[in-house]
């Protein structure tokens, strides 16, 4: 009834259409409908094994073969240590004063939530997307949407969870967005991933006071990242005067190229978000 060529053409067109529709659905919902977990559970144990081996080999190299330069470094570090002890003494005094004031003002600790430490065991196979695989999953209490942080600042959020492993989308990924504030002037905007060493800080009104060097922190309005967590520092400020928004570039505090261990905040306190408003 139909020629083979006709069947092939129709089949091809149907296949392409289905393909485009599926890609459209998955890219809009950022969901893998549970399929992602299967691949993650299968490959992640091997990633963990290889990562541990590579780190072990690197540690041996750094601890034993680099001892030649360690002697000189030791001398320098001793000098630095003496300086640091003096500074530490001053800081202790400041800390005690700070603690007293903090008690007086009855401040809540910003990170009173339970956190889970996790190790990064794999990175995204593609250069275009910025995700990492960590060695903690459902069994450790992780769930989709939890914030992932470092002492230096925000790292990302959990987007896929299997029993023992999770996938984390870093805030440098272009699909990531964080509601943020300039710490000094409280100017509000959205931090979006641009590349490994910079963010775009969008929708900041020109009427606000923003300067190069200002620290940008999470506002808490997005319901994911607790208020006050550090994100980065304004490194460039541009845009025509006729625009209503600034064009701001922010340099992250976290070094995403050297991400090895992270903290997952298990249950961000609802009060933290509420106080952000």
Q: Which residues of the chain form contacts with other proteins (CB under 8 A)?
A: 19, 22-24, 26-28, 30-33, 35-40, 42-43, 46-47, 50-51, 54, 58, 121-131, 133, 159-160, 167, 169, 173-175, 177, 194-195, 198, 257
Q: Which is nearer to other proteins, 104 or 127 (CB)?
A: 127
Beta strands in 40-126 (DSSP E): 115-123
* Shortest Å, Cβ 230 to other proteins: 22
Q: Which residue matches tokens 């296949």?
A: 15
Query: Shortest Cβ distance from residue 136 to other proteins (Å)?
Result: 16
Give 221's DSSP letter.
T
| Closest to 122 (Cα-Cα) out of 56, 55, 31 | 55
Q: Which is nearer to other proteins, 46 or 91 (CB)?
A: 46
For the chain, the first-to-last Cα distance in angstroms comes to: 68
66 - beta bridge partners? none
CA distance 43 to 36: 11
Do the beta carbons of residue 182 and residue 233 sit within 8 Å? Answer: no
Minimum distance from residue 167 beta carbon to other proteins (Å): 7
- Closest to other proteins by CB, 136 vs 227, is 136
Is the CB of 86 or the CB of 255 nearer to other proteins? 255
Alpha-carbon 78 to chain mean position: 34
Q: Please check whether residue 210 is in contact with residue 187, taking contact to mean a CB–CB distance below 8 angstroms.
A: yes
Q: How far is Cα 200 from Cα 265, in angstroms, rounded to an integer? A: 25
- Cβ of residue 100: shortest distance to other proteins, in angstroms? 45
Residue 81 dihedral angles phi and psi, to the nearest 5°? -65, -45
Q: How many CB atoms lie within 10 A of CB 190?
A: 17
Q: Would you say 42 or 91 has its CB closer to other proteins?
A: 42
Q: Which residue is associated with the tokens 């492993």?
A: 165
> What is the rounded distance in angstroms from the CA atom of residue 131 to the CA atom of residue 142?
16
Cβ proximity to other proteins, 52 vs 97, nearer residue: 52
Min dist. Cβ of residue 86 to other proteins (A): 36
Residue 21 CB, nearest approach to other proteins (Å): 10
What distance in Å separates the CA atoms of residue 50 and residue 237, rounded to the nearest whole number? Answer: 42
State the residue for tokens 């922190």: 217
Task: Please say which residue, 262 or 272, places its beta carbon nearer to other proteins.
Answer: 262
**CB of 107 vs other proteins, minimal distance in Å:** 36
What is the nearest approach in angstroms of other proteins to the Cβ of residue 214?
21
**Residue among 36 and 228 whose Cβ is closer to other proteins:** 36
């Amino acid at each position: 009834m139909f020629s083979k060529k006709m069947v092939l053409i129709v089949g091809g067109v149907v296949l392409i259409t289905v393909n485009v529709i599926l890609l459209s659905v998955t890219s809009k919902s950022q969901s893998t409908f549970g399929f992602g977990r299967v691949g993650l559970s299968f490959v992640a144990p091997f990633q963990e094994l290889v990562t541990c081996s590579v780190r072990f080999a690197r540690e041996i190299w750094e601890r034993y073969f680099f001892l030649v330069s360690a002697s000189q470094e030791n001398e320098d570090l001793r000098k630095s240590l003496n300086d640091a002890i003096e500074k530490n003494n001053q800081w202790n005094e400041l800390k005690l004063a700070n603690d007293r004031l903090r008690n007086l003002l009855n401040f809540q600790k910003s990170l009173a939530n339970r956190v889970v430490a996790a190790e990064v065991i794999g990175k995204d196979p593609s250069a275009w997307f910025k995700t990492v695989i960590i060695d903690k999953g459902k069994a450790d209490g992780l769930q989709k949407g939890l914030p992932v942080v470092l002492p230096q600042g925000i790292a990302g959020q959990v987007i896929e969870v299997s029993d023992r492993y999770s996938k984390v989308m870093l805030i440098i990924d272009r699909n990531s967005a964080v509601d943020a504030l300039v710490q000094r002037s409280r100017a509000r905007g959205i931090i979006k991933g641009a590349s490994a060493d910079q963010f775009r800080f969008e929708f900041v009104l020109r009427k606000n006071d923003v300067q190069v060097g200002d620290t940008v922190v999470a506002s808490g309005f997005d319901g994911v990242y607790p208020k006050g967590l550090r994100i980065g520092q304004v490194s460039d400020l541009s845009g025509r005067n006729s625009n209503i928004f600034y064009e701001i570039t922010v340099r992250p505090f976290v070094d995403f190229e050297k991400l090895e261990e992270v903290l997952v905040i298990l249950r961000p306190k609802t009060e933290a978000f509420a106080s952000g408003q």
